[in-house]
Structure 1
Amino acid sequence: MAQNHTYHEQINIDNELKLRELQKKLPKFCSTFFRGIEPTTSSRTRIAYAYDLGIFFNYIKTENPKYSNINISELDLDILDKLTATDIEEYLEYLKYYISDDGKEHTNSERGIMRKLASVRTLYNYFYRKELIKNNPASIVSMPKLHDKEIIRLDVDEVAELLDEVENGTKLTKSQQNFHTKTKVRDIAILTLLLGTGIRVSECVGIDINDIDFKNTGIKIQRKGGYETIIYFGDEVEEALKNYMEERKRIVPVEGHEDAFFLSIQRKRMGVRSVEKLVKKYAGLVTNLKKITPHKLRSTYGTTLYQETGDIYLVADVLGHKDVNTTKKHYAAIDDERRRKARNAVKLRND
């Protein structure tokens, strides 16, 4: 009889199976690397490393004549000692534009290149610290300079208009309106929860019924990295959640999804992609609204919370950021607001 797993346990199992498949396309010594970093990384992080290292070793095989006749899985660990900093810098140049074996074109932004270099560095650092290689050229390759992008967030009136559209659904197509009558209460609860707490979509869909404590207005969620915490919600979120809870009690879920709070039309736990589509659908109904994703709702909450409290460390804690510098990006718009207010602060001539 199959064992029932929690949502997060099942995600980790699925990721572990995916990682095993990806490792088959990597040099065999990479298995030692992934075992070594397992205690300190999440399954999602290890999958990201596997994808990035796959691109790196495929580049080595296709662009370096010395290794063109060797299967990637047969590459020995000493290849890391033979590569130079120049080889890695040429790889970063290659990442800006390349065509993969399936004929698809690929480009990478500064952030994408930085992540792929970080993956190669992590691989090198692991074997260098274990004294299994003598050289660490990746450590002396400079990280790409990142140019900050404007943080997109919703203004107060845009938040209200978005929630109004979720509630009314008048601009939806007839086909969409048929579904809307069945999902309106759920959709309002999801959007209100995201806007009112700043939680990630993965944290939202992972919520079980028993995770919600209306007495103390808190929800137990699992953060990135696997640790659990309690986030607290306000009156508007409480009302939306209670309304959906009454509806949720009348739904009989598909076997294996009995604990899930947010259910799809198919009576299964909603996935991250479903919520992303949901946000995109309703955001498209608001006239002249910025391009909105669930992460932009998180940025909106982070910025608004900082405006109201002025406490960046509180915002970092509530959003689950380990580094307060990450949090500062969520209130970058505050600096712009201050600059705007300062435009008439200095008088050149008396009135």
Structure 2
Amino acid sequence: MPASKMNYSDKINELLAQLPDFVSDFIYNFGRVENYATKLEYCRDIKTYLEFITNFLPKYCDKSIKEITLKDLGDIEVLDINRFLTTLAGNHKETTVKRKRASLSSMYGFFVATGKLSRNPIAATKTIKIPEKDVIYLTNDEQRILLDTVRHGTHLHDSVAKVHYIYADRDSAMFILLLDTGLRVSEMLDTDIIDYNLEDCSVVVTRKGGDTQVIYYSDECRDYLDIYFSSQKAKYGLSNSSLKFPAFTTTTGNRLGVRAVEMLVKKYVSVCLPEKTRIISPHKLRSSFAMSFYAASDNNILLLKKKMNHKSIQTTNIYAKASDTAMKDSRSLLQGLR
């Protein structure tokens, strides 16, 4: 198990030791085993909920959170849960409250599905509607400027430019792959060289939620991947039988982490698109792909939904709303028909 996942596992076990046994039942049996970060957030959210129960609901004030039973959980009223969510809203962002509500709904839903509870009271609470925000992304021209900097070190300060050749192949392959496919950074970084089929320009990735999917990339992206993987094979003496090796690594051969990619995006954007430094993150490269693909595919939102691995078309629809191309192009459709 990678060190980062070991850290998550240790933190999860530390929290579970403070929580009732039924929480362990939920954490270890719900969702993908590998979703350590999500499970850690569940533990934290459930602990916050149980602390509210024992501190603010008179019926349970004599209990510690460790003593709360599954029956107690089932007896909580909708009004009490709404009080909990309202209390959270006074100290947290709407997105945080929405996430905590979703965590509790998942827990209650799990125990209803397994027959240990008869109802999910979260379903009767008010849903939290988050106001839509503008989609932040790079235009095609801005993407070209960014990729030019990544490939050639354009705009980089002298001291950084001198050593850019060490990272150019890796970073070029990585940035083009992200902008070419809309992969989440974590999905890309979890891949190994063996997952890539350069002949048909595809890679097998494990998507958010645990599904495996074949993703296709462009010929240009394949060429950059080929250059980078060839250098990696030569550097580390990799044979065809030893290609279960991280696709993207540090200079010492360790799997690259999400934080490192965040720093790389900031490094390149800050010199070539300085006005975008504060707002462009790795996830915005995914948004950039979505906006570019939506326009280039003649507004094919269903194909974009599949590309983005969205569960709901409503999630994909934010890109349709953000693009006024279709509205503008359709302005004269009825001209001459009347």
Normalising TM by the smaller chain, what interval? 0.7 to 0.9
SS in 2 for 1:185: helix
- CA apart distance, 1:12: 6.7
Alignment of 1:144-223 (within 5 A): 144-223=128-207
CA RMSD of aligned residues (A): 3.2
Tell me whether 1:288 sits opposite 2:275 in the alignment.
yes
Q: Indicate conservation of the 8 Å contact 2:202/2:214, yes or no.
A: yes
Q: 1:63 to 1:283 in 2, by over 3 A?
A: farther
Change (3 A) 1:180 1:85: same
Tell whether 2:300 aligns with 1:311: yes
Shift of residue 115, structure 1, vs aligned partner:
1.8
What letter matches 2:211 in structure 1? Y
Q: Report whether the alignment pairs 1:30 with 2:30.
A: no
Does the aligned pair in 2 maintain the 1:124–1:136 contact within 8 Å? yes
Residue 215 of structure 1: how far off its partner (Å): 1.1
TM superposition shift of 1:53: 0.8
The 3-state SS of whatever aligns with 1:163 is helix
**Does structure 2 conserve the Cα–Cα contact (< 8 Å) formed by 1:253 and 1:267?**
no
The question of 1:56 aligning with 2:49 is answered: yes
Partner of 2:255 in structure 1? 269
Equivalent positions of 1:10-21 (< 5 A) are 15-21=8-14
Q: 1:37-76 residue pairs with structure 2 within 5 A?
A: 37-38=30-31, 42-64=35-57, 66-76=59-69
Partner of 1:104: none
Contact 1:251 1:267 in 2 (8 A): no
266, 284, 287: which one aligns with 1:299 = 287
Q: CA shift at 1:83, angstroms?
A: 2.5
What is the alpha-carbon distance in structure 1 between the residues aligned to residue 237 and residue 44 of structure 2? 35
Once the two structures are TM-superposed, the CA of residue 237 in structure 1 deviates from its matched residue by: 0.8
Query: Once structures 1 and 2 are overlaid, which stretch shifts more, 166-175 or 241-250?
Result: 166-175
Deviation at 1:82, TM superposition (A): 3.9
Partner of 2:225: 241
> How far off is 1:66 after superposition?
4.9
Take 2:237 and 2:250, find their aligned partners in 1: how far apart are those partners? 9
User: How far is 1:268 from its partner?
Assistant: 0.8
- Residue 278 of structure 2 corresponds to residue 278 of structure 1: no
CA–CA separation in structure 1 for the residues paired with 2:166 and 2:34: 40
Distance 1:200 1:149 in 2: 20
Letter in 2 for 1:269: R
Contact 1:195 1:301 in 2 (8 A): yes
Q: From the superposition, tell whether residues 193 and 35 of structure 1 become closer, same or farther in structure 2 (CA, over 3 Å).
A: closer
Q: Tell me which of 309, 313, 323 is aligned to 1:324.
A: 313
Q: Count residues in correspondence.
A: 329
Offset from partner CA, 1:41-75 (integer Å, 9 cap, x none)? 95544333222112211222333455445321122
Are residues 1:77 and 2:91 paired?
no
Paired amino acid for 1:50? C
| CA distance in structure 1 between the aligned counterparts of 2:170 and 2:284, rounded to whole angstroms | 20
Superposition deviation, residue 27 in structure 1: 2.0
- Deviation (angstroms), 1:175: 4.6
| Residue of structure 1 equivalent to 2:85 | 92
What corresponds to 1:102 in structure 2?
A: none
Q: Distance in 2 between matches of 1:78 and 1:59?
A: 17
- Tell me how far apart the structure 2 counterparts of residues 36 and 246 of structure 1 sit (CA, whole Å): 41
Aligned equivalents of 1:246, 1:318: Cα separation in 2: 28
Structure 2: state its 5+ residue gaps: none
Residue 186 of structure 1 contacts residue 262 of structure 1 at CA under 8 Å; is this kept in 2? Answer: yes
Q: Deviations over 1:185-226 (max 9, x none)?
A: 211111111001111111211221111211111112111222
* TM-score, L = length of structure 2: 0.84
**What is the CA-CA distance between 1:117 and the residue it aligns to?**
1.2
Q: In structure 2, do the counterparts of structure 1 residues 145 and 329 end up closer, same or farther at CA, with 3 Å as the change threshold?
A: same
Tell me if structure 1 keeps the 8 A contact 2:194–2:244.
Answer: no
Letter aligned with residue 87 of structure 2: Y
What is the alpha-carbon distance in structure 1 between the residues aligned to residue 110 and residue 191 of structure 2?
A: 35
SS at match of 2:183: coil
User: Within 1, Cα distance between the matches of 2:126 and 2:251?
Assistant: 49
Q: Which amino acid aligns with 2:251?
A: I
Contact 2:18–2:66 (Cα < 8 Å) also in 1: yes
SS of aligned partner of 1:29: helix
Question: CA contact under 8 A between 2:290 and 2:308: conserved in structure 1?
Answer: yes
